[in-house]
Copies of this chain bind each other. A is one copy, B any other.
Amino acid sequence: MLSKNVLKYLTSLQQKKYRQEYGAFLVEGAKSVLELLASDFEVEMVVATDKFYKENTRSLEKQPFRVEIATPDELVRAGTLQSNDAGLAVVKTKSNDFLYAEEGEYVLVLDDIRDPGNLGTMIRIADWYGIRKMVCSTTTTDWYNPKVVAASKGSFTRVQGFYTDLGAYFEQISVGNARPIAHRLEIGASGQGSVGNAGPVAPRLEIEASGASVYGTFLEGKNIHQVTFAKTGYIVMGNESNGIGSVVEKFVTDKVTIPRFGEAESLNVGIATAIVLDNWRR
């Protein structure tokens, strides 16, 4: 049986405020917990039913975390699922590390995605198409929301997220201008510039040309069936109602459109993400 304190701690993690305070989040259900145990996330605690514990003793007992046994009812009370006869885990959140597209790589950028189900679905789709990095506007729903984790179906263990102000981000990596580029991080050593750089030196991003493009879906874009994708790039998906905002639009080098053959007014943003990534991977 779970103590009052443990139950209180678990339910508190349903709120972003407490996830941030404790630096921890919930992972629920057999499949997600097992994918988690096979990942590099730091697990703090697993709450398992007797049955789930017995079926997965080897994965559970060798690890350096606390294990509690609970009934399915307790799991439902502690978590967000409608039923859970397996277990849940409390996991340390990762640090918000800077991410960008290295040469030959694509990054998925989310401008103000509000629905947790959509974000989780987009993480799953990114994982299917081999995208490992996602950059999210600070207005995008919380990566560690239990609904996001559930909808990602375990893919949150393989795809990294970085939250930032997208305008400043695109400025910093200097994409979207005449010569799209990637970059590497370089700290100016002891106040001195490198040879050939006479200016004052602060920690900054050193820029290299690499041909990164920024793709975004717009009504008036080029038919995505006819787009040839660059080797390195960013694919931006916009808000559920308003699409890509004007700040981010300035950095889009290639506006694309998913052609419509019937009469539906729009497509869900998760669906649109899948279609764009499928066209990119062809």
Of residues 113 to 171 in A, which have CB atoms within 8 Å of B's CB atoms?
Answer: 121, 124-132, 153-155, 158
Is A179 an interface residue, CB under 8 A from the partner? no
A271: chain B residues at CB < 8 Å are 121, 125, 270-271, 274
Category for how many chain A residues contact B: 20 to 34
A270: chain B residues at CB < 8 Å are 271
Q: How far is the CB of A29 from chain B (nearest CB, A)?
A: 14
A265: chain B residues at CB < 8 Å are 153-154
Is A279 an interface residue, CB under 8 A from the partner? yes
Is A199 an interface residue, CB under 8 A from the partner? no
A129 to B259: give the CA distance in the assembly, Å: 8
A153: chain B residues at CB < 8 Å are 264-266
Is A260 an interface residue, CB under 8 A from the partner? yes
A266 to B282: give the CA distance in the assembly, Å: 18
Is A8 an interface residue, CB under 8 A from the partner? no
Is A275 an interface residue, CB under 8 A from the partner? yes
Interface residues of A (CB under 8 A from B): 121, 124-132, 153-155, 158, 225, 258-268, 270-271, 274-275, 278-279, 281-282
